[in-house]
């Protein structure tokens, strides 16, 4: 196990560059990223949009490695929203093939890093071939006791909340739950993110300053970091910049400090 891991570290060479400026004692427990700007990255190079998605995929690997090395416990990546089905069919089809390619090349490293992969979103409505990769990845990484990497695939924050409400109402209808028992903690347990702490830091690349239906309930007190950098250019350096900014902030959660 350790042998291949050290090989990966050596290969990237610059893995620890810049990381010394990060205070390991005040890292976010959970980072969530809206990986945006792939299409514009490709357009600027005269390439088809899908080339941007491909380039973006390699950044996913870099960011997982960097987070693992820093000791981030939870990383959630917004890969496909419930609204992204509106895109032209060839682009949607390409995006639905990317998980196969990604996990085929990355699964061994993820397992070696003891990463546990999770998925949030309505994965039952993905094409069969994508669904199979999801199941296989869950199976292969189920025993991981290291970082949790959560892929938001066919995810929408409102759909997540609605699904939780449906679950609660079913329990109530069967007489197992009274309205007064529905606390925030109980509600959390019905969301797709059950068991995952709220994100401390939400990052969005590409200059857009909106949440686009990402983790609406869970981000109530997240620190938000926006950068003009497009996702395929973000990488480890972008992550470190976001972390340095995060560590200069004072989180008050409505109280005084
Ligand atoms: C983000 O990049 C990837 C997905 C939403 C799947 P975009 O494809 O949204 O790229 P832009 O925003 O058009 O540049
Ligand atoms: C958000 O990006 C979704 C993902 C990154 C997967 P979009 O590109 O879909 O968001 P909008 O349309 O600009 O709000
Ligand atoms: Mg976009």
| pLDDT average, residue stretch 101-122 | 98
Residue 252 lies in a domain: no
Q: Which of 7-21, 70-84, 221-235 has the lowest mean pLDDT?
A: 7-21
Task: Identify the band that residue 10 occupies on the pLDDT scale cut at 50, 70 and 90.
Answer: very low
CB 92 near ligand 2, within 6 Å? no
pLDDT for the residue 42? 98
Q: Is 233 a member of any domain?
A: yes
Chain mean pLDDT for the chain = 94
pLDDT at 11 over 70: no
Which pLDDT belongs to residue 20? 86
Indicate whether residue 34 lines ligand 1 (CB < 6 A): no
In a domain, 9, yes or no: no
Which ligand has an atom closest to residue 214 CA? 2
CATH number where 212 lies: 3.40.1180.10
Give strand pairing partners of 241.
none
83 CA: nearest ligand 2 atom: 9
CB of 254 closer than 8 Å to CB of 247: no
Closest-CA residue to 85 (of 130, 40, 135, 48):
130
Q: Tell me whether residue 103 is in a domain.
A: yes
User: Could you tell me the maximum CA-CA distance found in the chain, to the nearest angstrom?
Assistant: 60
Give the DSSP letter of residue 240.
Answer: H
Decide if pLDDT at 256 tops 90: yes
Residue 7 lies in a domain: no
| Reported confidence tier of residue 70, pLDDT bands at 50, 70, 90 | very high
In a domain, 113, yes or no: yes
- pLDDT band at 67, cuts 50/70/90? very high
* pLDDT band, very low/low/confident/very high, at 2 (cuts 50, 70, 90): very low
Ligand whose nearest atom lies closest to the CA of 231: 1
Query: Pick from 145, 158, 147, 120: which is nearest to 28 by CA?
Result: 147
Residue 18: pLDDT band with limits 50, 70, 90: confident
For 124-175, the pLDDT digits (tens) are: 999 999 999 999 999 999 999 999 999 999 999 999 999 999 999 999 999 9
> How would residue 16 be classed by pLDDT, with cut points 50, 70 and 90?
low
What is the structure's pLDDT at 14?
Answer: 45
The predicted model gives 178-193 an average pLDDT of 98
Structural tokens at position 191: 């969301």
Q: What domain range is 64 assigned to?
A: 27-156+198-247
Q: Does 144 map to a domain?
A: yes
Ligand 2 proximity of 40 Cβ (cutoff 6 Å) = no
Q: Is residue 224 part of a domain?
A: yes
Atom of ligand 1 nearest to the CA of 79: 6
Query: Ligand 2: does its nearest atom lie under 6 Å from the Cβ of 103?
Result: no
Give 66's contacts (C-beta < 8 A, 6+ positions apart): 15, 19, 235, 236, 239, 240
Is 8 a residue whose pLDDT tops 50?
A: no
Residue 230 CA, ligand 3 centroid: distance in Å = 10
Domain count, the chain: 1
| Residues involved in catalysis | 36, 84
* 155 sits in which H/E element: strand 148-155
Question: What phi and psi, each to the nearest 5 degrees, are found at residue 251?
Answer: -95, 130
- pLDDT at residue 19 in the model: 87
Question: What mean pLDDT comes out for the span 24-42?
Answer: 98
Rounded to whole angstroms, the Cα distance separating 12 from 62 reads 9
Nearest CA to ligand 2 atom 11: 212
């Amino acid at each position: 196990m350790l042998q291949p891991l050290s090989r990966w570290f050596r290969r990237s060479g610059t893995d620890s560059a810049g990381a010394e400026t990060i205070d390991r004692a005040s890292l976010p427990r959970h980072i969530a990223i809206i990986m945006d700007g792939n299409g514009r990255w490709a357009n600027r190079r005269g390439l088809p949009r899908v080339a941007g998605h491909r380039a973006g995929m390699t950044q996913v690997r870099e960011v997982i490695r960097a987070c693992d090395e820093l000791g981030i416990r939870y990383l959630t990546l917004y890969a496909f929203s419930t609204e992204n089905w509106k895109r032209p069919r060839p682009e949607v089809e390409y995006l639905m093939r990317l998980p196969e390619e990604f996990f085929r090349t990355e699964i061994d490293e993820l397992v070696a890093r003891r990463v546990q992969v999770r998925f949030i979103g309505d994965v039952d409505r993905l094409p069969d071939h994508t669904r199979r990769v999801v199941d296989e990845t869950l199976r292969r990484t189920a025993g991981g006791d290291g970082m949790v990497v959560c892929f938001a695939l066919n995810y929408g924050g409102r759909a997540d909340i609605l699904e939780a409400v449906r679950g609660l109402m079913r329990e109530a209808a069967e007489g197992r739950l009274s309205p007064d028992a529905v606390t925030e903690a109980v509600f959390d347990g019905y969301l797709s993110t059950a068991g995952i702490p709220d994100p401390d830091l939400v990052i969005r690349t590409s200059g857009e300053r909106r949440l686009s239906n990402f983790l609406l309930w869970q981000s109530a007190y997240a620190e938000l970091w926006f950068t003009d950098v497009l996702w395929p250019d973000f990488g480890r350096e972008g992550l470190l910049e976001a972390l340095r900014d995060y560590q200069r902030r004072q989180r008050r959660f409505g109280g005084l400090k």
